Amino acid sequence: MTFRFLRLLAWQLLLTLACALPQAARASEETVEITRAYIEAAEEGYRLSAAYTFDLSHALEDALQSGISLDFTTEISFTRRRWYWFPEKAWAAKRTHRIWYDVLTRQYHVKVLGTVQQPFGTLEDALFFIRRPTRWVVAPRGALKVGETYDVTLSMGLDNLPKPFQVNALNNRQWTLSSQRKTFQYKAE
């Protein structure tokens, strides 16, 4: 009887470990941390003030040095809870920072897609610009109902690798860089 009990206990332990391993692997992939995120009202609309912490893996740095551009995409959405139905999606926005290295000028360049690029002398300066972006108007005035409370969901990560690297990214964690979704509430002003 003791042998059966020990065997049952061993199986329960193995099952618990098997369930915990996928969560540990997923946590190691999510290497972008959202350290600050809040919404502020301005004349032109609602601005996101955010800060991120992350480091590039050796493989991503090598790709950047070889002339591959990397896109970091931030996504935000506003939803309003309703007691009688599913939450209403009020507004969503997306913004992409592209970083690349120019071998001729020996400078890093960062461009918010749709705007002018900025040159940087070091990789650390260029990454600082991505980690601490300027306040971005995520929703125009009138997009949110004043006085209503919204759930704001924010995420940031590496996006749109060139096709040959996408296959490698599926097999190698050095090519993935993303955050968990951060959700907080905002009462529209």
**Inside any domain, residue 6:** no
**Inside any domain, residue 130:** yes
Q: How many domains does the chain have?
A: 1
* Least-confidence region, from 11-15, 80-84, 107-111: 11-15
Residue 119 contacts by C-beta under 8 Å, 6 or more apart in sequence? 105, 107, 108, 109
**Inside any domain, residue 139:** yes
Give the pLDDT of residue 161. 60
**Inside any domain, residue 125:** yes
Three-class DSSP category at 58: helix
**Inside any domain, residue 45:** yes
Range of the domain at 41: 31-187
pLDDT at residue 7 greater than cutoff 70 = no
Give the pLDDT of residue 21. 47
**Inside any domain, residue 9:** no
**Inside any domain, residue 26:** no
Structure-block tokens of residue 157:
């990560």
**Inside any domain, residue 13:** no
Query: Which of 27-31, 107-111, 134-138 holds the top average pLDDT?
Result: 107-111
Cα separation, 112 vs 117, in Å, equals: 7
User: Does the pTM of the predicted model rise above 0.85?
Assistant: no
Average pLDDT value for the chain? 82
Cβ-contact 57, 128 below 8 angstroms: no
Nearest residue to 59 via CA among 171, 138, 147: 171
